[in-house]
Structure 1
Amino acid sequence: MRHGEFRHHRLVQVYEAECPWGPDDDFFLAVVNETVAARVLDLGCGTGRLTVALDAAGHTVTGVDPARASLAVARAKPGGEQVTWIEGTSALLPERAFDVAVLTSHVAQYFVDDAAWARTLVDLRRALAPGGRLAFDARDPAGRRWERWNPADSRRRITLPDGGEVRAWTEVTGVRDGVVSFTHHYGFADGEKLSSSATLRFRTEAQLRDSLGAAGFTVDTIHGGWHREPVGQGDGEFVVSARAGRLAPVA
């Protein structure tokens, strides 16, 4: 199944158990908190782990995601009723409605095609107020993170909230020109086996800067990790902060 951990009700529960709050969430929460009572967009919000925390911090938050199963979990979280949830993509975003936009958990890498990434950035620039902030993460291709996604190194056991255990492992199925395809495999205690496949784009720092500039953003900073380390000295990440320029006037 394509993107099963976001779309299949059973795999969404596994994703929730495997991906608890982490230093990336701390980072993005701190970034958003630099703007008091902000109107915040969480694009690709998934199951809403960060989204509901942003609302609890006093912001007005909108979570957008195309995966219905993930949004169902997000809506059911404590505090989820305070968030505006939208099932869809950036194409649905209203103009100049947000002060801050975030794309977390490497959502930016799911836009494999350059044209799709460019459209998303233009949509975000349109949705942000002039000078509004965009923050997102993407893995640094120099870190070659995909080399760890193999059956020998990726085997793991995931404990679900009900005490059930899932055995999982990952295999890379293709690497070419910065595009990496892979499949997660899951084995449940009741014997059911499921898989989830995906493809990610690993863009260089120069490619990210160029794409942001073309969409009307000015890059403020690019860090290499969640503690604001220089690129190449952190967690193998690009942690990007940029500002939205003014929209061109309509002729």
Structure 2
Amino acid sequence: MRNAEFNDPRLVQVYDAQCPWSNDDDLFLSLANEVPGSRVLDLGCGTGRLTVALAGAGHTVTGVDPARASLTAAQVKPSAEKVSWIEGTAADAPASAFDLALMTSHVAQFMVDDAEWDATLVDLRRSLVPGGRLIFDSRDPRARGWEKWNPVDSRARVTLPGGTDVDLWTEVTELKGENVTFVHHYIFSDTSEELLSRATLRFRTEETLRSSLEASGFEVEHIFGGWHREPAGQGDGEFIVVARAK
């Protein structure tokens, strides 16, 4: 199944176990907290790890995601009642309603087609008040992070809350231009069943990100290269983009 890690309830549980709070969450929360009490749109909020933390920090938060299984997991987390949840995309967000829009966990890279990416940026610009910020992450293609997506380097084991161990790894199946297609493998210890999740990510260059943002009505303020605000090209092989609606 394509993007099954977000749509299959069993794999959503694995995703939560595999992805605890980390340095990226610290950075996004600190950037949001630069403006206390902001109205925040968390697009592609997934299972809500950062979303509920933003609400707990005093922001008014709306989490939007097209994956029902991920939203279901998010809505039972502590403090989830403080968040407004929307099953949908950026097109479903209200207009001129937010001071900050976030896309974390490389959500931007799942928008492979130029038309989808450009439409999302336009919708986000519409959802922000003038001067509102858009902050998101996208892997720097110069770091060639996908080279570690193989059965040796990516192999890991997570334990689910009920005690079941899950062995998992990733393998790249196609490289085409800026697109990387891959498969996540999951084997559950209690049944030996193997589940698969297929996806394609777009590794846009810094120049492409800047030009698409400019064309959609944003001005880029910063592009960091790591989770401690290093310059682009340094740090963690990331682009953390901070842009402002014109």
TM-score band (shorter)? over 0.9
Q: May I ask how many residue pairs the two structures share in their alignment?
A: 245
- C-alpha separation in 2, matches of 1:145 and 1:99: 32
Structure 1 residue 194, shift from structure 2 partner: 0.4
- C-alpha separation in 2, matches of 1:217 and 1:68: 30
- Verify: 1:97 aligned to 2:86, yes or no: no
1:153 — aligned with what? 153
Classify the secondary structure of the residue corresponding to 1:76: coil
Gapped runs of 5+ residues in structure 2? none
5 Å-filtered alignment, 1:186-197, equals 186-189=186-189, 190-197=191-198
1:141 — aligned with what? 141
Classify the secondary structure of the residue corresponding to 1:108: helix
Identity %: 66
2:210 — aligned with what? 209
Structure 1 residue 176, shift from structure 2 partner: 1.2
5 Å-filtered alignment, 1:126-137, equals 126-137=126-137
Classify the secondary structure of the residue corresponding to 2:172: strand
Structure 1 residue 82, shift from structure 2 partner: 1.2
1:24 — aligned with what? 24
- C-alpha separation in 2, matches of 1:31 and 1:225: 13
- Verify: 1:61 aligned to 2:61, yes or no: yes
1:183 — aligned with what? 183
User: Which 4+ residue blocks in structure 1 deviate beyond 4 angstroms?
Assistant: none
Classify the secondary structure of the residue corresponding to 2:75: helix
- C-alpha separation in 2, matches of 1:103 and 1:169: 25
- C-alpha separation in 1, matches of 2:234 and 2:125: 30
Give per-residue Cα distances to partners, 1:30-51, cap 9 Å, x unaligned.
0111111100000000000000
The letter for the 2-side match of 1:106 is: H
The letter for the 2-side match of 1:225 is: G
Classify the secondary structure of the residue corresponding to 1:50: helix
- C-alpha separation in 2, matches of 1:159 and 1:181: 27
2:83 — aligned with what? 83
- Verify: 1:242 aligned to 2:243, yes or no: yes
Classify the secondary structure of the residue corresponding to 2:71: helix
- C-alpha separation in 1, matches of 2:129 and 2:44: 20
- C-alpha separation in 1, matches of 2:155 and 2:49: 25
- C-alpha separation in 1, matches of 2:171 and 2:192: 20
Classify the secondary structure of the residue corresponding to 1:42: strand
Structure 1 residue 72, shift from structure 2 partner: 0.2
The letter for the 1-side match of 2:227 is: W
Give per-residue Cα distances to partners, 1:16-68, cap 9 Å, x unaligned.
00000000000000011111110000000000000000000001000000000
Structure 1 residue 199, shift from structure 2 partner: 0.3
Give per-residue Cα distances to partners, 1:70-120, cap 9 Å, x unaligned.
000000001001100000001111110000010000000000001100000
Classify the secondary structure of the residue corresponding to 2:102: strand
The letter for the 2-side match of 1:218 is: E
- C-alpha separation in 2, matches of 1:231 and 1:96: 30
Normalising by structure 1, report the TM-score. 0.97
Structure 1 residue 191, shift from structure 2 partner: 1.8
1:224 — aligned with what? 225
The letter for the 1-side match of 2:200 is: T
Structure 1 residue 201, shift from structure 2 partner: 0.1
- C-alpha separation in 2, matches of 1:154 and 1:34: 35
The letter for the 2-side match of 1:167 is: D
Structure 1 residue 130, shift from structure 2 partner: 0.2
